[in-house]
Structure 1
Amino acid sequence: MVAGIVTGRLAFVTGAGSGIGRAACQVLSREGATVIAADRNYDQAVETIKKHTSLAHGSNGIGDHSALELDVSDSKAVQNALEQTLKLYKKPPTIVINSAGITRDNWMLKLSEADYDSVLDVNLKGTFLVMQAFARAMTEAAVTSGSIVNISSIVGKYGNIGELLLQLAIIARPTLGSQRQTLNWMAHSFHSQ
Structure 2
Amino acid sequence: MVKSLSLSHKFQAGLALAIVFLLVLATNRLDHRHFSTVQNTVNSVFEDRVVAQDYIFRLNNLFQEKRLFLGVHDSLADGSRENAHIDELLMKFGKTKLTAKESFYFKQLQKNVEELSALEQSIKNSAEGMTENARGKIESSLQRIMEDLNDLALTQLTEGRQLTEMARKSLATNNLLSNLEIIFLIVIGMIVLVIVFYPTRGLKK
TM-score normalised by length of structure 2: 0.24
- Whose Rg is larger? 2
Comparing both structures, which one devotes a greater share of its residues to helix?
Answer: 2
State the structure with bigger RCO (CA 8 A, min sep 6), 1 or 2: 2
Please give the TM-score of this superposition, normalised by the length of structure 1. Answer: 0.25
Q: Which of the pair is proportionally richer in strand?
A: 1
